[in-house]
Structures are given as C-alpha cells and as structure tokens.
Structure 1
Amino acid sequence: MLDLVIRGGKLFDGTGAAPSEGDIAIKDGVIAKIGTITGEAVREIDARGQIVTPGFVDIHTHYDGQASWDAELRPSIDHGVTTAVMGNCGVGFAPVRESDHDKLIKLMEGVEDIPGTALHEGLTWDWESFPDYLDALEKMPRTIDIAAMMPHDPLRVYVMGDRAVFSQHATKDDIAEMRRLTREALEAGAIGFATGRSDVHKTADGDWTPSSEATRDELTGIAKAFDGLGFGVVQAVSDFNLERGEADFDEEWSIVADYAKASGRPFSFSLMQRDFAPDQWLKLINLSEKLKEEGVDARMQVAPRAIGVFLGFNCTFHPFMGYPTYKTIADLPLAERVARMKDPEFKARILSEKTDKLSGPGSSIPPLADLLMEHIEMVAEKFFQIGNPPDYEQPAENSLASRARAENKPLMEIIYDTLLERDGKELIYLPLYNYTELNYDNVLKMMEHPQALYGLSDGGAHVGTVCDASMPTYMITHWTRDRTRGRKLDLPTVVRMLTGAQADYLGMSDRGYLKEGLKADINIIDLDILQMEPPHMEQDLPAGGQRLLQGARGYTATIVAGDVVMEDGKLTGAKPGRLYRAGREQAVAAE
C-alpha cells in the first residue's frame, strides 16, 4: 500500500527539462516511482491540469530566532518553500553566552528589523554552543526543513566579547578559536559559514555590526575551518565600498575573494543594482567570472524583483515619522492616529513642517532614511501603490510623484492622503535596489547569468518593511506568465532555479528533483489561478509583535517528506519538517 499517489500532473523535474505528464508514488517519505502508477494508496491527489514541481529551496532566510519557537515558518510555507537555510549575512543567535543575549537581540533587531520584544519573549535560549543550538532546533517538529549556517557576528562576540562590538581587530588566538568553533559547528551539521560587511547594517543601538570590518586575516583564518571537509558553503553580503572610491572597492572585493578561496567551498554573495552606483553590478559580475576562472565555485545571489520596502503607518518606516507634530501621536494606536490625521487642522500643521533627522548616534535607523527624505521629490518617482493583485514592475507614470503633478497637488499631501487609505493600512512600495531604470530588464540579465542563484528572500526578517518570502510565487507568476514590459523566462528554467539548482549549490543530494529515491518534497500548483495576495500586517509574533505577511492562492498542495503540510492555502497541522544536518546528511545520501 502506497502512502500517496499524485495523479496525472505535468511534471517539472527540477533539471530544466521540458515537462512530462505522469503519476508520482510516495512511500515512507520518498518518491517510490514516477510514471504510470497502478498500485493502491492511502490517499490520491488528482493533479490533472496542474503542474507538479519539487519543493522550493530558499538559500537566504533569517528564521534563526523564529525557528526556536515557531513550527509553521510562515510566510515561506505559504509560497511552496520546503527547505529554508538561515544564518545568512553573519547574524544569528549561536554561539552565545547568557550575558550576551541582549547584544544579539539588538543586533538582529537592528540588522533584520525583527521586534526586540518578540525576540525577548520568543527565544528559548536553551543553548550556548552552536551544536547546542542545532540540538535545540532538532527537538521541534515543524512544517518544513531548515538548515543553519554558522554566523560570524555571534561567533565574534562569543570569542572576543566587547572587543567585537567595538570593531577591534581579532588576534591570532581569537582567529584560531573562531576557526575551531566553526569547525565544531560544521561537524555538528552547520551547512556553512556566513559573514556580513554592509555599511547599511546596524544594531538597534546604532552600532556597526561586529563582523562588518573584519580583516582579511580573520576571514581567511576562519574559512580554513573547511579544510578536509567535503561539504558546506560560504556566504557574504557587502556594499563593496564603491561610494568610497575605486581603491576601496577593489580592496573590499579582494578581501571577500580571498575569504572564498581560503574556504575551498562554493561561495555566494548578494548582487543588486544600486541607484548611487548603477554599474557596480556589472563590475561584480565580471569579478565573479574571474573568481570562477581561478577555481572558486563563485555564485551571485539575485532577487527576481526589486529589493524594496513598504512604507506605512503600521510599518517600521514612513515619510512622516520624523515630523514634529506626527511624533506627538506616534505612540497612539493606529485607529487613533488615523482619526487625528484626518482632522484638517492637524493635517495642515504636519504639512507645514519639515522632518527632523532620524539617523545618528544611538539610532538604529540608517543614514539612508535621512538621505531619502532629503531627496523626497526624486525618491517619490519610485513611490507606488502595490495594488491587488500586487504589481512590482510599474511604469513611471504610476508613481505618486507623477500623480501629484497630474493632480497639481503638493507631493507630501498626496503621500499623506495615500497612507490614510484603507483606514491607515495602505502601503507605499519603494523599490530601493534593482529598479534604477524603472523596469526589470537588468534583473533579467542577472537571473540569466550562469553563476546566478535565486536568493535574497530574507524570509523571517525585515518584518516591518519587507515580505520578500513571496518571491518563489513571483518567480513563477511574473516571469513565466504575467510580465508585459519585456521578455519572460520559460517555466522549466524557473522551476530549476527554485529547486534543483539550489539543492546542487548546497550539496543537498536528497532533494530538489522529482526523481525516484529522493525525498518527497513536492508542490502541486494550479498555474491558472496562482497569484500572490497583497502584503498585510498581522500581530502574531510573541509579545504582540507585528509582521508583514503575504499569502498566495493556487498551491493545491505542498508536501514535505510525503506529508501534505499545506492544502488549498491552509495549513494541515502536519509537521514532518526537521533540521538538515550537513555532512551527516550527505553521508547518508551517499550510502
């Protein structure tokens, strides 16, 4: 008796090949047979007229805290993800001493915009070492599988204490200890090591992140923890200092490249187009190609749409948060704020003011926020209402700046009135990166590069500004079906980018494909109705913390290890997900 048979679907196997129609038989959590299935099963799902894909693998999430208390891992599960990798960008919660709990919470609160109150209440902290952390994660059944990278920031704090926080250089002994602990983490099942070097990232107290200025010796010294291991990846995020000049850019790239070389393992970094350096991404592609020629399996994590933020009165940021009159009501509940802001006299008072500075010493708000407000007339050329269904690739004439000109009204009044729509729950979408030319032609060039990987969803992070965990659904709907402003991608290629290509990069040989003997992580999708919903704010984090969530319709079923965990947009209650321990898992798969 089979456990489950999926009947008559159009099978996209994850290789990029053209689909074929057939059945899939599942037994004991694995794919038992593909073809024409005649045996009986406990359950059958009719997939005729629908597509069937491997479960999606997301290599760039930040569920490091959430995974310790939350078994559902929304919103990733809402978008077909069956394996999520966390610990990216060097931030996380292990290793850690009890005296440093607050430091790591402030780090994650600042860098990844996760409410500190939610972390204080939700984190179980039943670990100190990274192996302890993995053991704690393994105890909780969950909807999907997770894997964790050793993050540089907590490692540095664990070894160096306050010297790490104040950006002091690591000594030879510090580096040796960080290397030892990284090796310990890898042998316990960490899937890699990640570091963060972005000038945008700050703690909740406004301090630089501990790893942001780590030296070449420190990074290469830690990377040697991979010596002799046949598994694991390394990751980095950096601004590459281009705004400081070409010399600083070249020096930063050489440090990151030496880190990748020293590891001897597959390496990826974040790639995007920045308005202030619109050609930097092309230079990074060229350097990545040269790095690959030097023998490094170098990859670029690219997003299928803009790296953008939502602005709203319930979000982390909005254009009026620095206005003196708004600050007098900022702590009121949303309904009370909206009522006050609809008063004509109150509105006139705010619109007569200028914003105060938001960033600076002691503030976690990056200088970019002040820069955007200083140039609001220009920035608003990329202020859009997202709509329903959401539209992330809108033309210039749809912007709020264009609307202000068309209606002959002051820009800030248009922004003010827009944010008050839907009882103050309306959101303005601002594509910060990947939208310099107000279209996705350059995004397409990034995605089509042979060294590109789908990434940067940041699932579980930036919860008050971003909901990019919906990107897998966007990949399928926008890039294979709905795009009208340029060339599209074919569906087999997109499915491969979300599945087989991800698993191959990570060395996960037991998933990513529809193949007999592999893990039965599968999506059944009604492509005709597949659609994202608009983002909305929910207060479902610990301590009443809020986050943006974004659902989808069209996922008939998402299956993890043979169990249906999501059906027609609803969680079933099944929790077959587990911790993936790299090294150990590869050894089992090889047998």
Structure 2
Amino acid sequence: MPAYDLVIRGGTVVDGTGAAPREADVGIIGNKIAAVGAVSGGGAEEIDAKGKLVTPGFVDIHTHYDAQAVWDSHMAPSSWHGVTTAVMGNCGVGFAPCKPADRERLIELMEGVEDIPGAVMHEGLKWEWESFGGYLDALDRKQRDIDICALLPHAAVRVFVMGDRAINLENANQADIAEMRQIARQAMAEGAFGFSTSRSLSHKTLRGDPTPTLRAQEDELRGIALGMKDAGSGMLEMVSEWAPDHNAEFAMLRRVIEACGRPAVFTLTQRHSRPEVWRDLIGHADKAARDGVPIRPVVAPRAIGVLLGLAGSQNPFSGTRTYREIAHLPVAERARRMSDPAVRARILSEDPKEGNTFPLFHRMSFEFMFRFGNPPNYQPKLEDSIAAIAGRQGKSAPEVAYDMLVEDDGGNFIYHPLGNYAYGDLSMPETLLDNRNCIMGLGDGGAHVAFILDAGYQTWLLTHWGRQEKRWDVSELIRRLTSDTAGAAGLHDRGVLAAGKKADVNVIDWDRLGSDAPYVVSDLPAGGKRLLQTVHGYDATIVSGRVTFRGGEATGTLPGKLVRGPQAELVS
C-alpha cells in the first residue's frame, strides 16, 4: 500500500510563513499534510514539481459569492487563480436572514451594490431559508471546488428586524438592537465568521436608494458586535465612505471594537476626490495595532478599476437614448451600427447621464480612462488617457472613447481606475503593501460580474510585484496570500505547508504564471453574462488533498465545503 495518498515531489516549497524557499517533497494523507521534507514513501498519486513553486492554497477574505455559491459548484474566477478558501458576505450585503416578503429588497440591493443582475439572482436563488443558519444549511448541501466561509450581512439583519424603517434609514431602537444582538450571537454559533456592514454612499440600489446600513448609529453597531462577544467568535468587516469626518468615523469603529473585544477589518482605498485621507486611516490603524486593538485594513495590490466596453455591462454611452435602442444587439452588430456616421453623431450629441443608473457613473471621467489592451495594462500613464489623446488629436474626449469602443468589432475595453490611482501610478497601493498590518484583498470575486474583474489579483500580485518589479520576494508575497489572510479570518488550520495543516496546495510554474485579456461569457442563470480571463501557470491546485485543477483545467473533483466558524485545528 502507498504510504501517502498524494506526494508532490521535488518542488520549491514556499511554505506561507515568509521563510526562504527550499526544495522539498510534500506528502498528503486524506485532507491533511503529513510531511514536508524528504518524503521517502510513495504516493497513490504523485506530482512532479521539479522547478515549480509549491505553496499553500490562497485564502481570499473579501468576496461576494453569496449568490453564486447557491447555484454553482465552481467559484470561478477565484478558483482559477489558486484560491482554495474564500470569505463571502462582505460589505453588509447578502441573503440571510430574510423574510419571504423582503427577498426582492435584498436582490435589488445586491444588484445595485455588487452589479449582479437581478434576473440572474431571481433564477439562481431557490430561497430554501429564512434564518442565517438556514442559509448556511443550504450552502452546506452543495460541494464546490473551494471552501467557502460566510459573514452575517448587516443590511439583511436590519431589514429582517426593522422592515421599512431600515429602508427609510431610521435609527434602531433598543428593542431592535437587542434582537440584532441575538441574531448575531446565534449566527456566530451556527458558523458565521463575523459580521459585515457598509457605510458607503456608493452602495445603492439601481433606483438610487442607499444601503439600509448607511446611517446606522454607534449603539447599533456596538450591539451587534456585542453579539459576537457573547458567542466568543467573529470579526467585524466594514466599508465606509469615511465622511464627513474620517477621523471621527475611525474613532467610532475603534470604540466598537474596544467594547466587544473582537477583531475588525476595514476596506482601505484612495478616493480620487479625497486623495490623502488614506494616509490618516493607515496611521489610525497602525496606532490601534500598537495599542493592542485589532483593527486591520484590507487593501488591493493595484488600482480598483472598471472595464467599459460593448461586451460588458457599462460603457461611457450606456445612458444615451440611441445606444439604449441598440443595446440588445450582439456586440459585433452593435459595433457595426455604431460605426454608421449618423448613429455616431446622434449618440455623441445625447446626454450619457440621462438614462444611466450605474451608481459609480458620477465618479468617471475621461482623464482616467485608458485603452486596456492585450496584455492588460493596469499601470497606464496619465498622458495616455482618453482626455490627453483627445487634446493631442484635436478631438473631443467622447469622440476618442467612442472610436475605441467600436474598434475590432466592439471587442475592446476601456480601463477606468476609480480608486488607488489619484497620483497616476501605483505608489499608493505599493505603500500599503509595504505595511505588514495591511491585509491583501478587495478582489470582489463573484461581484461586479460584467464591469470589474479584480478577482485575479493574486496572480497579478505575484507577476507584477514579484516577477516583473521584483519589489518583494516570493516568500513575502505568498505569505500575504496565505497565512496572513487565513490568520485574519481565524482559519489557523490552513495557509501554511506544515504537517497537520489542511492539504490546500498550489503547484505554480513561475515563469508561465499570468492572465490574458478579459472576455465575456453568458453562463450565469437566466443567460447572465460575466467577465472572465484565461489564467495560466497553475500546474495543479489541491483542496483537502484532492486535485481540483490540473494545468488550468478543472478535474471535476469537488472537495470544497462550507466552513462553519473559525478553525484553529483541522476538522476531518
């Protein structure tokens, strides 16, 4: 009989701790790593990893697979990029708890905040639950290609308890807060990883209604956080506009965390309209860390940007009357019609804001729109913006953007960084990456399906900052994607290649690692479309000791499970 179920032989082990790479074998029995070193026994299956990196599976703590996980066994695109565990339910949006009468409200909010089409969710969600525990039970009945963990979403809790008063942004009374505290306590006991909330003005339904949690008072947040304290587990995840006073807002967050004693993470990005606020926030987080108050920023390794194109859900002319008349046509036919001089003149003469319900449209400008290209360019120069090109060519910026969109039968994308790019370069995310208190995240896997594709940031982090720029060594970059993110979520059973840890592993061809230009597929329920990109360089991805991807192709094996609550030790 073989000594091991699987042996990964002769690879360069980057174990997730930040230690220097070393040549070693990895022996796996069942769902556990049994040995790392010179493994003498044979395996029922063996992978030759000579010349390849062998790393822990990546842990992504900021995703939105809350809907997709209900109907799909494949958590693409994250699972294509070496992610083996994802935490979903961020930003205060989700689907439980939920009374039957409120289902439409939660779908509308998810549609507006995370750009998942309502028709997709109406067809894909079967609503086999009302309580948060019932939602977890529904998730537990499906196997997947990765493990998933769920946060309790504030918007769902608030609507469940307060109904119309939540939608109208009324303050919670003490009875409301007591009920929310009990819901939080129960959710943690049933397996929630924490509680998420949003205080962002950008989080709206397509009708423009703000998220119900926008103005939640400190006593409400404290009450829910105390529910986590009652349960003895859970983290608080928050996204905020940090307005009007970012210092006061952070002080409020700190008081809540000091009251409950649970850790917190918050989204830290650079708003182009307030380009220096992030410096104060990182300073506040660093001081909290020095004071022993666990508040950590979650950051992105590059600009946070949208992809505008005829194939996606948004472009600079989506709101014009004439474009809306032809928006139903296939992309190539639409591009052909738009190339007609008369149609072009009409669209360019119309107001693009008139019919545009896209919540982020007001933040877009031609000064930060760039040709995306293939390979994708995530670090464009300001002199290459559409506005700058228009100035040099003596055209209007809309004319330049229009012509880019219709080239190549409408297959092009325009890239618009909406955050982390106010300086016209990547110096802001680079500064955050240099701070070990910051957590890698914000890929938003499962959300923004047809206009943002940042879910592959793990691959980009390694190729751009590691292989291309050589800014950090591979050991540190892998640590940021594995043990650091796993530890932040309370997943201490994974994120490190060591005996006794969960057997989640990537075998990576460092020289081939990369992603191609995005493309659109219509594979969601109700024919919904989403952006994906071809990924290469992951020779094998292993979840719980079983190979889920080989050479970038799914094997059909689905060992991924719902993880209920923080894991200090591996559960068989």
How do residues 325-404 of structure 1 correspond to structure 2 at under 5 angstroms?
325-358=322-355, 363=357, 365-366=358-359, 368-370=360-362, 372=364, 379-404=365-390
Q: How much has 1:346 moved relative to structure 2?
A: 1.6
Distance 2:208 2:546 in 1: 44
Distance 2:74 2:363 in 1: 38
Q: Indicate the residue corresponding to 2:142 in structure 1.
A: 140
Answer yes or no: is 1:254 the counterpart of 2:251.
Answer: yes
- The one-letter code sitting in structure 2 at the alignment partner of 1:392 is Y
Cα distance change of structure 1 residues 227 and 352 upon mapping to structure 2, 3 Å threshold: closer
Distance 1:543 1:387 in 2: 30
Distance 2:539 2:35 in 1: 21
Q: Deviations over 1:127-177 (max 9, x none)?
A: 111111111111101100000011100011111111111111111011000
Cα distance change of structure 1 residues 177 and 229 upon mapping to structure 2, 3 Å threshold: closer
Q: How much has 1:260 moved relative to structure 2?
A: 2.4
Distance 1:282 1:133 in 2: 39
Q: Indicate the residue corresponding to 1:376 in structure 2.
A: none
How do residues 261-300 of structure 1 correspond to structure 2 at under 5 angstroms?
261-300=258-297
Could you tell me whether the CA contact under 8 Å between 1:527 and 1:554 is conserved in 2?
yes
Q: How much has 1:576 moved relative to structure 2?
A: 0.2
Q: Deviations over 1:270-315 (max 9, x none)?
A: 1111111111000101111232344311100000010110111232
Cα distance change of structure 1 residues 250 and 163 upon mapping to structure 2, 3 Å threshold: same
Cα distance change of structure 1 residues 47 and 383 upon mapping to structure 2, 3 Å threshold: same
Cα distance change of structure 1 residues 216 and 65 upon mapping to structure 2, 3 Å threshold: same
Distance 2:459 2:301 in 1: 10
Q: Indicate the residue corresponding to 1:308 in structure 2.
A: 305
Q: Indicate the residue corresponding to 1:566 in structure 2.
A: 549
Distance 2:445 2:132 in 1: 21
Could you tell me whether the CA contact under 8 Å between 1:301 and 1:452 is conserved in 2?
yes
Could you tell me whether the CA contact under 8 Å between 1:324 and 1:356 is conserved in 2?
no
Q: Indicate the residue corresponding to 2:419 in structure 1.
A: 433
Q: Any idea what SS the aligned residue of 1:179 has?
A: helix
Could you tell me whether the CA contact under 8 Å between 1:52 and 1:525 is conserved in 2?
yes
Could you tell me whether the CA contact under 8 Å between 2:247 and 2:281 is conserved in 1?
no
Q: Any idea what SS the aligned residue of 1:206 has?
A: coil
Q: Indicate the residue corresponding to 2:76 in structure 1.
A: 74
- The one-letter code sitting in structure 2 at the alignment partner of 1:574 is T
Runs of 5+ consecutive residues of structure 1 not aligned to the other structure: 373-378
How do residues 98-137 of structure 1 correspond to structure 2 at under 5 angstroms?
98-137=100-139
Q: Any idea what SS the aligned residue of 1:468 has?
A: coil
Could you tell me whether the CA contact under 8 Å between 1:323 and 1:354 is conserved in 2?
yes
TM-score, length basis structure 2: 0.96
- The one-letter code sitting in structure 2 at the alignment partner of 1:212 is L
Choose 465-474 or 199-208, whichever is displaced more.
Answer: 199-208
Could you tell me whether the CA contact under 8 Å between 1:389 and 1:531 is conserved in 2?
no
Answer yes or no: is 1:444 the counterpart of 2:430.
Answer: yes
Could you tell me whether the CA contact under 8 Å between 2:320 and 2:355 is conserved in 1?
no
Q: Indicate the residue corresponding to 1:225 in structure 2.
A: 227
Q: Indicate the residue corresponding to 2:393 in structure 1.
A: 407
Q: Identity percentage over the alignment? A: 48
Could you tell me whether the CA contact under 8 Å between 2:7 and 2:26 is conserved in 1?
yes
Q: How much has 1:51 moved relative to structure 2?
A: 0.5
TM-score, length basis structure 1: 0.93
Q: Any idea what SS the aligned residue of 1:24 has?
A: strand
Q: How much has 1:267 moved relative to structure 2?
A: 0.8
How do residues 3-152 of structure 1 correspond to structure 2 at under 5 angstroms?
3-152=5-154
Distance 2:170 2:439 in 1: 34
Q: How much has 1:508 moved relative to structure 2?
A: 1.1
Q: How much has 1:228 moved relative to structure 2?
A: 5.0
Q: Indicate the residue corresponding to 2:499 in structure 1.
A: 516
Counterpart among 553, 560, 563 of residue 536 in structure 2: 553
- The one-letter code sitting in structure 1 at the alignment partner of 2:471 is K
Q: Deviations over 1:402-437 (max 9, x none)?
A: 333343433222211111123112110101111111
Distance 2:230 2:182 in 1: 14
Q: Deviations over 1:303-358 (max 9, x none)?
A: 00101101112322211122333233233343332221111222123234443435
Q: Deviations over 1:208-247 (max 9, x none)?
A: 1111110011000110012254432111000111xx4xxx
Distance 1:24 1:249 in 2: 47
Choose 29-38 or 349-358, whichever is displaced more.
Answer: 349-358
Could you tell me whether the CA contact under 8 Å between 2:155 and 2:197 is conserved in 1?
yes
Q: State the superposition RMSD in angstroms.
A: 1.7
Q: Deviations over 1:382-410 (max 9, x none)?
A: 22222222220122233223333343433
Q: Any idea what SS the aligned residue of 1:420 has?
A: helix
Q: Indicate the residue corresponding to 1:194 in structure 2.
A: 196
Answer yes or no: is 1:491 the counterpart of 2:493.
Answer: no
Could you tell me whether the CA contact under 8 Å between 1:26 and 1:562 is conserved in 2?
yes
Distance 2:486 2:363 in 1: 39
Q: Indicate the residue corresponding to 1:319 in structure 2.
A: 316
Could you tell me whether the CA contact under 8 Å between 2:191 and 2:565 is conserved in 1?
yes
Distance 1:391 1:517 in 2: 41
Distance 1:337 1:394 in 2: 28
Q: Deviations over 1:446-471 (max 9, x none)?
A: 11112100011100001121111110
Could you tell me whether the CA contact under 8 Å between 1:186 and 1:582 is conserved in 2?
yes
Answer yes or no: is 1:462 the counterpart of 2:454.
Answer: no
Could you tell me whether the CA contact under 8 Å between 1:110 and 1:204 is conserved in 2?
yes
Q: Indicate the residue corresponding to 2:176 in structure 1.
A: 174
Could you tell me whether the CA contact under 8 Å between 1:358 and 1:370 is conserved in 2?
no
Q: How much has 1:178 moved relative to structure 2?
A: 0.5
- The one-letter code sitting in structure 1 at the alignment partner of 2:196 is A
Distance 1:542 1:438 in 2: 38
Answer yes or no: is 1:418 the counterpart of 2:420.
Answer: no
How many residues are matched?
570
Runs of 5+ consecutive residues of structure 2 not aligned to the other structure: none
- The one-letter code sitting in structure 1 at the alignment partner of 2:16 is G
Q: Indicate the residue corresponding to 2:159 in structure 1.
A: 157
Choose 27-36 or 347-356, whichever is displaced more.
Answer: 347-356
Q: Any idea what SS the aligned residue of 1:328 has?
A: helix
Could you tell me whether the CA contact under 8 Å between 1:196 and 1:212 is conserved in 2?
yes
Distance 1:230 1:17 in 2: 32
**Which 4+ residue blocks in structure 1 deviate beyond 6 angstroms?**
none
Could you tell me whether the CA contact under 8 Å between 1:358 and 1:369 is conserved in 2?
no
Distance 1:258 1:87 in 2: 23
